[in-house]
A and B are shown apart, each in its own frame.
Chain A
Amino acid sequence: MNPVNYLYLAALLFTIGAAGVLIRRNAIILFMCVELMLNACNLALVAFSRMHGNLDGQIIAFFTMVVAAAEVVVGLAIIVSLFRARHSASVDDASLMKL
């Protein structure tokens, strides 16, 4: 097997995650899909690291994890406060900025 298959898998997972972001309404699931996309990126980075024979890709993946953690913390806090205010976790309900 060619290790490039890891990249194809990462692309597939990323696309699935992106489609999930577009399709689902629940903000929490939306977030999970975003996490899925980030993980797909990490997989690609790790595969690249192996491809190039150095550890820079892994370092980037590591940073991605840190940023993802920060993002999740803030994002979930937003969801919680949104839920408190609107009693709903649906992103469609937070559409006050339309016409």
Chain B
Amino acid sequence: MTASTLAAASTTSTGEAVQFWLLGTVAVIGALCTVLMRKAVHSALCLAGTMIILAVFYLANGAYFLGVVQVVVYTGAIMMLFLFVVMLVGVTAADSLKETIKGQRWLALLCGLGFGALLVAGIGRASLDTFNGLGAANAGGNVEGLAALLFTKYVFAFEITGALLITAAVGAMVLTHRERTERARTQRELSEQRVREGKQLPPLPAPGVYARHNAVDIAGLLPDGTPSELTVNRTLRARGQVRDVSTQALEDLRALEQRSEERLGRRRDGEEAAK
């Protein structure tokens, strides 16, 4: 990663080779997991890992600024945005890997293999043996070099991307902003509607009631020990992330009763003995 390793050469240092083969393998696995993981959260995490490895590769290739930006912007900001949306949208039961379009998977595989083979063939055909290295280009510092290019040769593109970003921000707001078309209903109206529809009149019960656990994903237990779905948030219910603790709770309850029985029995025995 030093200037010497980046000098003109057709080979890299052994350290970089080891790093490439190790991290490259992980990156490919991460990419495959991104594609194949059933849950979006897992996919996002795998992608973040791949991106961090790519950041390392950027650094190894002398792109220090990009490596840092990759971590900060991509892995830090963009992937967090992804996770945020994943949480917002939720995971539906329909999100399975089962293919619904006839022949789509085969076609996709065929195209993917063909495309990959063609790319590899193209790279193999190109004479890319000599690498000039970035020693000269990075002599004045990578960031300085980039900045010099960015504000001279690419200044117009830079400005235009600025405009693009602003447009994207405004566009996102326009897309997601919902104009309220009717007056917000008051609390009184809401309660009247509830009475009229005969639904749950009092506030919903809190989760984790009658249990030792006190977490939002654990259904509260009714007096007979059965869990109540009402106590769990709708999103968690939709995701199927409700943890049912009723059997465990009932056992705990029985054990508690037994223990208290024993204790009370001992006390009674003691009292009887005292008598």
Contacts and interface: CB of A to CB of B under 8 A. Distances in A.
Direct contact, A vs B (beta carbon within 8 Å): yes
B210 interface: no
A53 B95 contact: no
B61 A90 contact: no
Contacts, number: 251
B201 interface: no
Nearest to B78: A72
Contacts of A94: none
Interface residues of B, number: 94
Interface in B103-147: 104-105, 107-109, 111-113, 115-116, 119-120, 123, 128-138, 142, 145-146
Given A46-B57, A70-B167, A32 B123 contact: no
Given A19-B112, A36-B50, A46-B66, A1 B12 contact: yes
Interface in A44-90: 46-47, 49-56, 58-59, 61-63, 65-74, 76-81, 83-84, 88-90
Q: Considering residues A15, A52, A90, which has the most beta carbons from chain B within 10 angstroms of its beta carbon? A: A15
A50 B6 contact: yes
Contact of B164 (A14, A16, A67, A81): A67
A25 B66 CA distance: 31
27 contacts: A1-B16, A1-B21, A2-B10, A3-B10, A5-B24, A9-B24, A12-B116, A16-B31, A17-B31, A35-B47, A36-B47, A39-B50, A42-B54, A46-B63, A50-B132, A53-B134, A53-B135, A59-B150, A62-B65, A65-B70, A72-B78, A73-B81, A76-B85, A83-B89, A89-B95, A90-B94, A92-B101
Given A53-B8, A56-B149, 11 more contacts: A1-B12, A9-B57, A12-B31, A16-B28, A19-B112, A24-B97, A55-B149, A69-B165, A70-B165, A77-B171, A79-B89
Interface of A: 1-9, 11-20, 22-26, 28-29, 31-33, 35-36, 39, 42-43, 46-47, 49-56, 58-59, 61-63, 65-74, 76-81, 83-84, 88-90, 92
